[in-house]
Amino acid sequence: MNGTDTDTFIEWMSAAVPGSLGKLEKEARAKGVPVIRKSAQSFLGFFCTLLKPDRILEIGSGVGFSALLMRNYVCCRILGIELDSDRAAEAEKNIREAGFSDDIEIRCADAADVLRELAGGEGQDGAEHFDLVFLDGPKGQYLQYLPYIEKLTREGGVLAADNLLKEGEILRSRYAVTRRNRTIHRKMREFITEMTRSGRWQTMLIGDGDGMLAAVRKPDAAPDTGTDRTV
């Protein structure tokens, strides 16, 4: 069974999203506006239920579907970033209509600018901290965002990233990928390599849907004081 089979199975088995959120999902799909698939929905539901996050950062909010879904799973505050001004305005409207304007803020901006600003803030180590970071923005930028996300995710917090495997394309050799898609192929592989080998994350790659990655932020290594060294 491959990832696509699993995804079809999950779509088939999953209960429909109820109420106005389900209506928002259907309307977005009908208009071709991107919203997360069922597999990513259950993935987020799993982490929201397990972690009970107080603060969530979402990169790529679209029209607000995934932010509202997470807020439905858990009582929390969400900061969402969306570059497209029409989508950001639509997200704000959907959030207002759902009655969650106090809990979910959408910033209409380039994620790189917002991440840089948040990471340089006045928190514990100069940054704000989030319990869960949902990365669903421009795929080619994930690696550039990573140093900021590392500062912004609290120790023990989770980074959840969607659309990592481009329906299996990232698993193939770069020579089996069309020339047009080679840059994204390389960037995504570099991102996955950094996540799995840097030692700063405990990472799990999931083949369902478009491919998802979940990673727990490990504590930074204690500074080497030299006291354990035998001379």
Interacting residue ranges for ligand SAM, rule: CB under 6 A: 34-36, 60-62, 65-66, 81-84, 87, 110-111, 136-138
Report DSSP state, residue 102: T
Nearest distance in Å: CB 138, ligand SAM: 4
Closest CB 199 distance from ligand SAM, rounded Å? 28
Nearer Cβ to ligand SAM, position 65 or 148?
65
Other C-beta atoms lying within 10 Å of the C-beta of residue 199: 9
Residue closer to ligand SAM by CB (options 16, 220) is 16
Q: Look up residue 103 and give its two tokens.
A: 């809990």
By DSSP bridging, strand 153-161 and strand 201-206 are unpaired
* Cβ proximity to ligand SAM, 111 vs 164, nearer residue: 111
Task: Count Cβ atoms below 10 Å from residue 34 Cβ, excluding itself.
Answer: 16
Which string of DSSP letters, residue by residue, matches 157-201? EEEEE---STTTGGGS-GGGS-GGGHHHHHHHHHHHHHHHHSSSE
Residue 44 Cβ vs ligand SAM, minimum distance, rounded to whole Å: 9
- In terms of Cα–Cα distance, which of 103, 32, 104, 99 is closest to 64? 104
Nearer to ligand SAM, 77 or 218 (CB): 77
Cβ of residue 197: shortest distance to ligand SAM, in angstroms? 26
Contacts of 193 (CB under 8 A, 6+ apart): none
CB of 36 or CB of 149, closer to ligand SAM: 36
111 versus 195: smaller Cβ distance to ligand SAM:
111
Minimum gap (Å) between residue 87 Cβ and ligand SAM: 5
Q: How does DSSP assign 13-67, residue by residue?
A: HSPPPPHHHHHHHHHHHHHT-----HHHHHHHHHHHHHH--SEEEEE--TTSHHH
State the minimum distance, in angstroms, from the CB of residue 144 to ligand SAM.
10
By C-beta, is 85 or 193 nearer to ligand SAM? 85
Closest contact distance (angstroms) between CB of 224 and ligand SAM is 37
What is the length of the chain?
A: 231
DSSP character for 209?
A: T
